[in-house]
Chains A and B, each alone.
Chain A
Amino acid sequence: MSAATVTSPRVDPPVTRTALPPRPSRLWPTLWALVVGAVVLAAAAGLSITWDELPALPGKVAGYLRLMFADPSWDKLPRALLETWRSISMAWTGAILCVVASLPLGLLAARGVGPAWLRLGLRACFAVLRAVPEVVLALVLLTVTGLTPLTGALALGIAGIGTQARWVYEAVESVQEGASQAVRAAGGTAAHVTRWAIWPAISPTVLSFALYRFEINIRTSAVLGLVGAGGIGSMLSNYTNFRQWDTVGMLLIVVVAATMLMDTVSGAIRRRIMEGARVRDVGRGA
């Protein structure tokens, strides 16, 4: 028996086998996977795409990419930079509008701050705003402010309120009760609670979300340009329609560079805000 153990690493295979728990049934996951796969295939078959053109697609796209990026035309660069600045302006003004509007609204919609009827009403409004695409909002605003960057800024500002206010009330509701109770016990009113218990706890999060809104707006402002709100999106749409691929290539490079630059700067500031807050908390706790 002991000699057998030394020569062979397997000891009593039948016993260990029976000690193992049974494998969980794979039936339901497999069925679900099959159903999802069938639905996706059905959806793909239903799309009006000429599938036999698909193999030629990579070659075609590669050809266009060569047209765009092999020798991008830098003649229009000054104008592109100006339009980029216009897009950034649109994104920033929109973000400020959005944050300024969503802060009080979000506070009122938080549990424990506003009355229940106001809370439910506001939350329903936010849900509707979240579902309206910015572009649709811009199309309505166009009739008031015309084909100007102001339209873009207003559309970004209003469309963002739905999500931004939701982040605010979620932040308020995740605040621990202790500070609010302390202020209330000391005789503070609702306004005092908001100022001295809630605001110090949520301000880093809210500021960080405000910058995040700016980052989102940078991307969306290029989209609004496509419907005529001005900025780099308008320029890109025009030159794509003219099929001036070398200029389109340059514009895409500018869009990517500007977006990544803004993301980096804003991301660094956001990290500083959140980490600064954390250090201060530790300092107070100790």
Chain B
Amino acid sequence: MTAVDLAGRVPARPRHVVRTALAVAGLVAFTVATCLPAIGGVELDLGSIARYWRNGADKLAELAQPNLAFAPRTVAPMLETLQMALVGAAVAALLSVPLTLWAARATNPSTPARVAVRTVVNVVRAVPDLVYATVLVAMVGVGALPGVLTLVLFDVGIVVKLVSEAIDSSDHGYMEAGRAAGGTQTQINRVTALPQVAPLFANQWLYVLELNVRISAILGIVGAGGIGRLLDERRAFYAYGDVSVVILEILVVVVVIEVLSNLLRRRLV
């Protein structure tokens, strides 16, 4: 086959000039609109960065000198953060099993019930974590309780969505066996679906535990307990050396939890 021959066979390059132009124009228009302060967009005030960058640099310089003498005082709040993360993940894990089986097509053939659960979970997922915390702190008072409730709501949304979508996107031949043996839907779910999706659940539970450590570190900023409260308090006193100890501690704990959960995950899956 010669080169000329081949060149004749290569199909014409697809061209979508108009479509590409429209897409780019749309993107540019949206971007410009988001940068117009007149209609509520972000004011790209680069002048303020040029004028005040020293403030930020000073803060970073202060943060770079952690006051290690402060470290012992961070232990108790950090422990509370970890406890909140664990309890939140555990409660969410318990709640997520029935809800997930309820929200997946293979384990719940009834459309109205499935749509109902999915709608509720989607609404729950659309509210950001700290927003829950703010509203819950106002409802039940300052402390660890609103923090744990926030984490539970947040985790249930994630686990139910991810696991039920994973169930929906795979085949379930093994469930036929249960149906052929005359089992009810509950029995089939219990005996076939649950052991099959258990690794998926374990994976997501570990993932939300990691997320929880991250989130519960800052929940205290709105009064929901944990080390975030200390962070906010020291910042209010402009004690940046203390703040940096807290941040470093959060970094270390987050990385340690990530490594541990990766090890566990490799064993489980």
Chain A interface (Cβ < 8 Å from any Cβ of B) = 39-40, 43-44, 46-49, 57, 60-61, 64, 82-83, 85-86, 88-90, 92-93, 96, 127-128, 131-133, 135-136, 139-141, 143-146, 148-150, 152-153, 219-220, 222-223, 226-227, 233, 236-237, 240-241, 243, 248, 252, 255-256, 259-260, 263, 280, 283
> A150 touching B45 by the CB < 8 A rule?
yes
Known contacts being A64-B139, A88-B34, A150-B44, is A43 close to B83, with CB within 8 Å? yes
> B251 touching A60 by the CB < 8 A rule?
no
Give A227 to B228 CA distance when docked, in angstroms: 13
18 contacts between A and B (CB under 8 A): A40-B90, A49-B144, A49-B145, A57-B140, A89-B42, A92-B30, A131-B255, A132-B251, A133-B250, A135-B218, A135-B221, A144-B52, A148-B45, A233-B131, A240-B138, A252-B131, A255-B127, A256-B123
By secondary structure, the B interface counts as helix
Q: Which of B17-40 contact A (CB under 8 A)?
A: 30-31, 33-35, 39-40
Known contacts being A44-B87, A88-B34, A92-B31, is A256 close to B42, with CB within 8 Å? no
Give A237 to B131 CA distance when docked, in angstroms: 8
How far, in Å, is B105 (CB) from chain A's closest CB? 19
Q: Does B56 contact A (CB under 8 A)?
A: yes
The 8 closest A-B pairs by CB, nearest first: A89-B34, A144-B56, A43-B83, A259-B126, A143-B55, A89-B41, A223-B130, A40-B90
Q: Please pick, from A93, A219, A236, A260, the residue contacting B42 in the complex, using a CB distance under 8 A.
A: A93
Q: Which of B118-171 contact A (CB under 8 A)?
A: 122-123, 126-131, 134-135, 138-140, 143-145, 148
Give A236 to B127 CA distance when docked, in angstroms: 12
Give A248 to B35 CA distance when docked, in angstroms: 27
On chain B, the residues within 8 Å of A85 by CB distance are 39-41
Known contacts being A140-B59, A256-B126, is A86 close to B30, with CB within 8 Å? no
Contact mask B49-69 → A, CB, 8 Å, 1/0? Answer: 100110110111001000000
> A131 touching B250 by the CB < 8 A rule?
yes
On chain A, the residues within 8 Å of B128 by CB distance are 219-220, 222-223, 233, 255
Q: Does B79 contact A (CB under 8 A)?
A: yes
> A143 touching B247 by the CB < 8 A rule?
no
Give A47 to B60 CA distance when docked, in angstroms: 34
How far, in Å, is B79 (CB) from chain A's closest CB? 7
> A240 touching B126 by the CB < 8 A rule?
no
Give A243 to B42 CA distance when docked, in angstroms: 29
Q: Does B48 contact A (CB under 8 A)?
A: yes
- Nearest A residue to B30 via CB reads A92
> A240 touching B255 by the CB < 8 A rule?
no
Given A90-B42, A150-B44, A240-B138: 4 more A-B contacts, CB < 8 Å? A92-B31, A144-B55, A222-B130, A237-B222
Give A143 to B235 CA distance when docked, in angstroms: 12
On chain B, the residues within 8 Å of A43 by CB distance are 82-83, 86-87
On chain A, the residues within 8 Å of B82 by CB distance are 43
Give A274 to B183 CA distance when docked, in angstroms: 40
Give A88 to B33 CA distance when docked, in angstroms: 11
- Nearest A residue to B146 via CB reads A49
How far, in Å, is A159 (CB) from chain B's closest CB? 11
Give A131 to B34 CA distance when docked, in angstroms: 28
